[in-house]
Amino acid sequence: MRSRAGTGFGKTLVAILNQMLAADDSFTMIITPIKHIQSSHAESISSKYGLETVVINDETTRDEEFWRTKVHDLKKKQAGTARVFLVTAEQFFLCASGHLSQFGQMIRNTLFNRRLRLVVVDEAHFSHTAGLSRYGLEAFRPVYARLDKLKLRLPHVPWMAATATATIAIMKTIEMILLRPTPAFLSSVMIALHAFVSLVF
């Protein structure tokens, strides 16, 4: 589903409302490019909607108690208490030293990823503007162009792409990397042009 929605329209609110309808231990994963605003977003989601939200990036604690209680206890096969995860894209891929983050390992575990209700790529235009080499310059966030690899690992999960900066070229990249095959779209004419939210089932 594609919904044209400008800055401040609350594009990720669609995902949050979807999670609020859940009566099980499922969770929503929001991939965000800007680490320094993750904490404020997490606090906002928790306070406004009552959904425990956890930030996952390269500064996230490695404390075992945190991972068991908030994320998932793999030994006890017990869900953690968090229902929304704000994650930087780099967490899903090997770092320069060849290691995979703890969350990257977790998302590959069937016990954990079968709880995944929805993947949201916020600021999805990064798949084009940051993920691809442009004007002879190397991509500065190349993992954004590799999110299709993560999608292949999660064939049972719907994906949603949210952006307020969507030219025709950017939309084509988003559809190719994040939403294929057979995405469904929803458009709104009540807000600015060049913005959309896409959700594929």
The per-residue pLDDT for 84 is 98
pTM of the model: 0.85
107 token code pair: 């998302």
The per-residue pLDDT for 75 is 95
d(CA 53, CA 129): 28
d(CA 53, CA 55): 7
Q: Which residues pair with 163 in a beta bridge?
A: 196
Written as tens digits, the pLDDT of the chain (201 aa) is 444 444 444 667 888 999 999 999 999 999 998 888 898 899 999 999 999 999 999 999 999 999 999 999 999 999 999 999 999 999 999 988 899 999 999 999 999 999 999 999 988 888 777 655 555 655 557 788 889 999 999 999 999 888 877 788 888 888 888 887 666 665 544 444 444 455 444
The DSSP output letter for 56 is E
The per-residue pLDDT for 132 is 55
Superfamily of domain 2-200: P-loop containing nucleotide triphosphate hydrolases (3.40.50.300)
d(CA 65, CA 48): 26
Reduce the DSSP state of residue 76 to 3 states and report it.
coil
The per-residue pLDDT for 172 is 85
CA distances from 160 to 115, 138, 179, 180 (A): 17, 26, 8, 11
The per-residue pLDDT for 186 is 55
